[in-house]
Structures are given as structure tokens and as C-alpha cells.
Chain A
Amino acid sequence: MDSFARGNPPGTPDAPEVYLDNSATTPPLPEVVRAMLTVLQEEYGNPSSLHRRGRMAAQILRYSRQSVADLLRVDPDEIVFTSGGTEANNLALRGVAELAAGSHRFVHDRPHLITTAIEHPSILEPARYLEQHGWDVTYLPVDREGLIDVDQLAAACRPTTVLVSTMWVNNEIGSIQPLDEIGATLRRLREEYRAADRAASSGSEVRAYPYWHVDAVQAVGKLVVEPLRLGIDLLTVSGHKIHGPKGVGALFIRKGVRIAPLLLGGGQEEGLRSGTENLPGIAGMGEACHLARGLLATLPAQLWTLRERLWQGIAAAIPQAYRHGPSDPSRVAPHILSVGFPGTKGEVLVRYLSDRGVATATGSACHSRNPSPSHVLTAIHLPPAEAEGTLRFSLSIQNTAEQVDRTVKVLKEAVAEVRELAGWRSA
């Protein structure tokens, strides 16, 4: 046997690989690949060119933008394509921050950002960056289920708050933040601040702050994501989490929201994202959004059934396994299941399962090579020893009941073996 060239077995006709790591990335659907191939091989024009090929490329860009906008039920002009979720999150935070910091409001006061303790690093790191550059940042804690307390949000908000950034679905434990309540709270506070401004007759400038940004990377395609209905100002989408390609994402920017670009150059994307458009990626993402919109009526229920089947299977087969995340089903994403297996190590289980054709993850893929415990599991007050024994299963349209059953079977063996070797006794 060759242990040097070990990887996930590609799967055999008898037992194809079970891919349960769809929160890390999803396999591109065949239609997506076809759309991309067409652009790569035939429609290689630059959308800025004036000739026929350029106009063709511009049309593909337009259609793709329309398709993303349709999925979110927003105007195509409100969509800016980026290189992915990370860039969209950075653009939202740093783009809003740059313009706000220049406002006369903040000559004396430090601008303020509110976010949560369980955000993706592409939010937390820009937040830390702003903190180092004169911003006050509040990181809202979450409860054991991974949900913020809206009263705490209201209490944290102040007249200097420029931006509130909350994720829609947490990528590690699947918790869904109470966006309705957050939106209502922010609307109310904004009104109060405006009234105060008017009373002080300080504003020739009409206050729009605090803006509200939502990282919806894990929500799009699995839940109905319509930012305008909730009063969201900015919203992040990623291509490769919805069976599109890697290297492309989008930021929804509501009309009227002012934001500065990160990249300067040829002025593409209305000047908000210079650089020749990644047209193959954008076409792929457009196709993926189109497909996602068609599936949205049935997919959530389908995923939910699979998730329940997986959890019931695990609960029946493996003693003392327990779920992380909210107990209220309306507060959990249908595709993410995070399970603790006391007496094990997540990364050992991942490798064990991988050798038997099942792809899973510890907390999240970003953490899998980092030996310190996940910040999300720490934020929900899980002791490090328990966090270590956590696996995340994330489902997609391509998973089946049979795959789920096979996973439970392999998982049962894996957990039993690791526990036996570790000398673990059930309490």
C-alpha cells in the first residue's frame, strides 16, 4: 500500500464517495461547468471591449448579474461581483468604514462597529483591522445555541454606530440569527437617532447609519434570502457554496448605500470593484444562482429530511453523541449538523472516515489545519476537550438517504474504535 499518495479515495462504482462537507465547498453542477466552459472556450471577450465579442461578454455579465439579483429578489444594479465571500465581506466592512471615517461626525467621536463573536474570519479580521485603526468594535456574545441576544444588540448600539454585521447562518453549527428582530431593532434605532439629529438640528446630512451587513454565504440557496424584505443594506454571497465555481462571489449593496472600493483601477462594477471581470466564474455563479432559485421551493425540506435522518441515525447508533446549535428547528439551517462525540478527536475521525470514503470536517475547513479550538465552539461555551471531539456534517442536493445511512454505519465503527483505544467509558 502506498501511504505517501493518500487522499480521499475518488470513490468506486460500488461505493462512490459520500461528500458531506458542503459547507466547505460544493461540487459544481454540470450546468455550471458547461456555462464556464462556453465562456472559456468561445466567449473569451472582455466585457469592456466595443467589438462583437466584447458585447457578447457584456451580455453574459448582464445575464449573470440578473440571475444573482433574481435569486435575492433585488435589482441587478445592486449586485457587485467580487472574488468570493471573503472579498465581499472585506468590501462591506472596509468600504463602509472608509467613507464613514471621513464624515464630519467622527472628527471627535470614534466610529463604532458591531459584529458577533461567531462570524467568519473574513469578518472578524477586518473588524480587528478597524479596531487597530481607531474604531470601537463590539463583538456580541452568543448563547449556548449560537444565537445573539437582540436586547444586547440594542444596548450596544449608539449614535456613533456605523455598521452592524451579523451572519445569517453560522458555518460551523448552523444557527440562524434572529434577523427579523435585528432588522426591526435597527430600524427603530435609526429613527431615534434621526429624531435626535433633527432636535439638535445638527444634520444637513441625512443619517443613514447604522448600516446593516449580513454574511449570507451559508444561507443562500438553502433558505429564502431576500435582503430587501428584512431591511438589509449589504449582503454577502459566495459562488462555490451553491454549486458554483470558486473564486467568485457577490456583494449586494442596497441602492443609496454609500461605500468605497477596495481596488482601484479600470472602474469595472460601477467603480466598486476594478479589474477585468472573472467572466467564466461569474457565468458559473449566474448559472448556479439560476439553478438554486429553481430548487428553493423543495430543497430546504429535502435537506431537512436528510439532516434529521442523519441525526436520528447517529443518536440511535452512538451513545452520548449530542448536537450543537439551536434546539428550535426554525433557528437551524437545514444542511448543517454539528455533533459532539465525547471521548474522540474530530480530526482523527475525519481521517478515519475519509479512508472509508466519507468526507466530513471538524469545526470548519478553515480550522482543520489549525490546532487551536474553533472560535465558534469556544463562543458557545464548549470546553476545549469537548470541542475537540466535534464533527460537522454539511449536506447538499447531491446527498441521498442511502449515503446518510452508510455514513452512520462507518461513523459508528469509527467512534467505537477511537473511544476504545482512548479507554473512554460512557458516563
Chain B
Amino acid sequence: MEKLQRAWRRVILVRYGEIALKGKNRSDFEQQLARQIEATVTSLAQGQTGGSASVTEPMPVLAAVERTYGRIFVTPRRAEDLSLVLSALQYVPGLVSFSPAVRVPLGEPHGADSLPAIQDAAWELVQEALATEALPPTPWRLTGPPPRTFKVAARRSYKRFPLTSLELNQEVGAELLRRGIGLPVDVHQPDLTVSIEVREEGAYISVLEIPGPGGLPVGSSGRAVLLLSGGIDSPVAGWMALRRGVELTALHFESYPFTSEEALRKVEDLCRVMARYAGGRLVLRVCHFTEVQKAIQLRCPEQLRITILRRMMFRVAEQIAEQEGAAALCTGENIGQVASQTLESLRAIEMVTLLPVLRPLAGFDKDETVRQAQQLGTFDISIRPFEDCCTIFAPVHPRTRPQPEEVSKAEAALDVNGLVRQAVAQTDRREIAAYWPALAPNPPVPTRGQP
């Protein structure tokens, strides 16, 4: 009972970046971030119970998300959900970092009597952070090399609290030394920082800091249509857009029966992983594209087929963007990697749409993309061998520098509008719920002592 009550005082203090935002923007940003936190926690919890994959069924809210100026506090409703919530927060773009913290309510008057409680909490957290390997891992333990120095960093935003920041540093630091923390103080570059924030609603003490994905909360930057092929690049591009707050609708082009059902399942699995970073769900549109591919194959010169194919995809994507309320397209294209990705080629392709085309991987080397895909967890899915079933459409010698005029001329053989209209009409829509691997009890979370 005592342990439970202790845990109940624990909250998660969330830091977010892009502080330059002001006024209405800031409030929208915070609101969106809070929504994404709630959605991600709910999705992860659903994934853990093995509960219905349904994204529409409501789930009891597991954590209260409070916004106060400059900070967001997440309080798990039940003590045992704490590590689950910490795991979920690592998937919320917009979070710079977060810290498990203890809240000490301020006693009357204005917290004058609270110092011993603050000192107790600081000692409790330091002990847990430095706990030896012999104990089962908890989210409260510091991972990485053992710290050699420490300091206390207090901030007093509630100015009626009787001690100044400096006095609080001294009082808490001295107490930790007296109780035997066993580390010298280093106020410049400490390995371990005991942070204390005194706010009107209480003092928050924390020791660990867990890095978040950074960026902006998904939904704060509008929506884009992601052209998702099933290869290694496009999921990484999608993740990078998500990280910049861009909500995504994934669009996949399939050429059944020339491509297999496994290829489609692969794309769905990619969406299930990407959805973790999108608040737990992602819309996938699948365009039945066989007729367009056939028409190109039969009527267009071989060297230009790939360029024309991409142009047709962009045209369809533009229409889908309109249906989905998206303001941009997003692709995994790179510069100069393959023939269709020379600047001339990108130009000839992009001409068919007025929407901006985001190419987050433009500056990446292949191995950087691969590394990112591995971290993201999409790499193993992308390399499943079902993609190359479509070799009959692969041209032998694609033109590396197609000229827009020759492409337009070659396209004259096609009923472009008719084909696009038909392809858009044959585009399915479905919502994909995130797939979450089962969490170990108290999964280790990458942490560092607060700088």
C-alpha cells in the first residue's frame, strides 16, 4: 500500500522544442502534442492487451495529460501503467525529452514546510537511479556508465516559495551528501543532475532524462500523401515527414496479378510500424494500377516508361491528396541514385503536379537510409523478397535525362485523364492500426542523467 501511494505521486514531465512558437500557434502545438500523447499511449496499451485491432472502439484513457505553460505533465492513472506510458512517449514526435518525476505538493504557507519532503524525494530518486544491476530493471534506473559527479539544479517559477533557487540547490545538495550519495559536486559538467522545479501546484523532482524523437507533433504541419512502394526508402521518408509534424496518408500502387498479395501485405506491415509514430493509426490507400501500367507498357517507348509511370503516379496522388485534404506529396526519392532520380528526371516527373513534393531523403546516402530503416524497424519488412515479381515492366535501358517535351509527346499515346480517373476510382481506403511488440515487464528505456 505504501509503495502504491509512492508511485502515485509520480508523473512524467515532458519537454518539447521549437520554443520560438508564440501565441495561438503555441497553444495549438501544445494541444496537438497532448492529443498525440494520449492517442499513442492508448494505441500501445491496446497493442499490449492484444485487444481489438479496431481503431474506432474507445479505450479508457490510461494517462492524464495536463498542459501548463511550457511543460506537459503525463500522469498514469494506475501505477503499473507507468513503464507502458514511458515506452509510448518515445514514439511521439514533438517530444524532445521526458523525465519520470516525483511531485511534492507544497504545504502551507507557500511550501515553506516542504523542504524535507523535497529532500526525501530527491534521495529516493537518486537511490533508484543508482540502483545496482542486482535489482530488476525499472524505468527509474540510469542506464549507461555510472555517474561520477552530480549537481542539483533548482528552478523556482513559483516566486512565493520561500527559498531561492540557489538556496534550494544548497539545501538539497547538502542533504544528499549527508545521506551518502557518494559523488562529488560538479556544477559545470555533472554526470547526474537532480532537477527541481517549483511550481504553484507542487515541486517536481527528477533525475533521469529519456530522449524523445524530437521534431513537431504529428498533425501540427498539415497532411501529405506518401508514395509508399514497399522498398527501403519510402517508409524512412514517411517517418521523417511524420517527425516534422506532417500527418500522412500512405498511397500504394499495386499491379495485381503482376505483383503478389504478399507485396500488398508487406506495405500494410510497413504502415503498421510507421503508425507507431503517427498516434497509432495511419490511412493507407491502395490504387489498382494494372491498367495504367499495361497502357504504358503497350503504347510508350521503353526508355521513357519509368518516367511516364512516375508521372501517372503523381497525377493519381494529386487527386488522392485532394480527397484526403493533403497539401503536399512525399516520396522516398533520392538524388541520382537510379536513372529515374536524376534532377532532369525528377523535374520531368514533378511537372505534372502543382503540389509541393517533399523528398526528405534527398540528402541521404543509401547506407544512412538503411541505418534509419533499421532503427525504425521497417528494414526487415522492406527486404522481403516479393517485390521483384513485376520484372516484366522493368525497362532495360531507361532514359537518364528525359526531356519534358519528349515525355509529353510520348504521353500523347495515352488517354491520360481517363486512366487517372479510372485509377483514382479503383483506390481502396483503409485505416491501419499500429503494431506494437509485447513489452517486457519494466522494459529498459534509454536514459541519461540530466545534463
Contact = CB atoms under 8 A, between A and B. Distances in A.
A13 B294 CA distance: 31
A3 B389 contact: no
A420 interface: yes
Interface stretch (B43-51, B87-95, B257-265, B358-366): B257-265
Interface string B385-406: 1101101110000000000000
B428 A355 contact: no
Interface stretch (A18-26, A194-202, A346-354): A346-354
Contacts of B302: 423
B257 A348 contact: yes
Contacts of B430: 4
Interface in B217-271: 254, 256-258, 260-262, 264
A345 B264 contact: no
A379 interface: no
A345 B389 CA distance: 9
Contact of B257 (A1, A355, A422, A423): A355
A351 B392 contact: no
Interface in B416-451: 426, 428, 430
Contacts of B258: 348, 351, 421
B198 interface: no
B393 A421 contact: yes
Interface string A344-385: 010110111011000000000000010100000000000000
Contacts of A369: 262
Nearest to A370: B385
Contacts of B216: none
A4 B286 contact: yes
B254 A351 contact: no
B288 A3 contact: yes
Given A352-B257, A371-B385, A418-B392, A4 B294 contact: no
A9 to B, nearest CB: 13
Interface string B355-394: 0000000000000000000000000000001101101110
A2 interface: yes
Given A345-B392, A418-B392, A421-B393, A3 B256 contact: yes
B428 A348 contact: no
A350 B392 CA distance: 15
B298 interface: yes
Nearest to A372: B385
Interface string A1-15: 111101000000000
Contacts of A348: 257-258, 389, 392
A350 B389 CA distance: 13
Contacts of A4: 264, 286, 428, 430
Nearest to B294: A421
Nearest to B395: A423
Contact of B298 (A350, A351, A371, A421): A421
B302 to A, nearest CB: 8
Interface in A158-192: none
A8 to B, nearest CB: 11
Contacts of B264: 3-4
A6 B392 contact: no
A420 B392 CA distance: 10
Interface in A31-74: none
Contacts of A2: 428
A421 B392 contact: yes
Contacts of A345: 389, 391-392
B297 interface: yes
A352 B393 CA distance: 16
A423 to B, nearest CB: 8
Interface in B174-233: none
A421 B428 contact: no
Nearest to B393: A421
Contacts of B254: 3
Contacts of B260: 347, 351
Given A347-B389, A420-B298, A421-B294, A3 B428 contact: yes
Nearest to A2: B428
A350 B261 CA distance: 12
B211 to A, nearest CB: 37
Contacts of A371: 385-386, 388
Given A348-B257, A354-B257, A421-B294, A1 B392 contact: no
Contacts of A6: 256, 261
A350 B259 CA distance: 11
Nearest to A421: B297
A422 B392 CA distance: 5
A338 B27 CA distance: 69
Contacts of A3: 254, 256, 264, 286, 288, 428
Given A348-B258, A352-B257, A421-B298, A1 B426 contact: yes
B288 A1 contact: yes
A147 B256 CA distance: 37
A222 to B, nearest CB: 30
14 contacts: A1-B288, A1-B426, A3-B264, A3-B288, A6-B256, A6-B261, A345-B392, A351-B256, A352-B257, A369-B262, A371-B388, A417-B294, A421-B297, A423-B297
Given A348-B258, A355-B256, A371-B388, 6 more contacts: A3-B256, A3-B264, A4-B430, A350-B257, A421-B294, A423-B297
8 pairs of A and B residues whose beta carbons are closest in the complex: A351-B257, A422-B392, A352-B257, A421-B297, A371-B385, A348-B258, A348-B257, A3-B288
